[in-house]
Amino acid sequence: MISCVIRRANPEDAGAIQHLYQELVGDPLIQVLPEQIVTMGRSASTFLLVAESGDSVFGTVLFNLRNDVMFRSQPFGVLENVVVSSAARQQGIGTRLLAQVEVLAKEHDCTKIMLLSSVRRHGAHAFFRHCGFASDTKTAFVKYRSQFTTA
């Protein structure tokens, strides 16, 4: 088990986060901008977290609070880009990242936390279920920018 600290990302983490995202999806066009991390750090509704051990970042998650009207003014949370380096998986890092997300969700009185995961990432699905997420209550749909229709 790797000992790590979960914290908000800072601009110096941009390269490590970019590397994790490229490991996740393999897209060479991914570019994580330090100034975007600064902007997110100022937000009261966006949390870009990293798992750091020593001088290395081994994991990241993006958690967004979304306004809702269904339950008074309670928000819901959306997780994106849950990534742990393949070299550090099965060490409790992902569990600690998601536990910190749950702390944030409770602090902000969220009604639920939702996430999407690629249909081919069966190991990730098992991990999410292990952490208490259910995949039998909702179906997700995605439309990427390249598929947008123009009027």
* pLDDT given at position 98: 96
* pLDDT given at position 151: 59
Beta strand extents in 9-66 (DSSP E only): 46-53, 56-66
Tens of pLDDT along 67-87?
Answer: 998 888 899 999 999 999 988
Full residue range of the structural domain in which residue 29 is found: 5-147
Of residues 55 and 37, the one with the higher pLDDT is: 37
Distance CA 119, CA 96 (A): 23
Distance CA 13, CA 67 (A): 28
Distance CA 97, CA 6 (A): 7
Domain total of the chain: 1
Q: What is the CATH number for 78?
A: 3.40.630.30
pTM: 0.91
Tokens (6 digits) for 108: 């902000």
Tens of pLDDT along 115-150?
Answer: 988 889 999 999 999 999 998 888 888 888 889 987
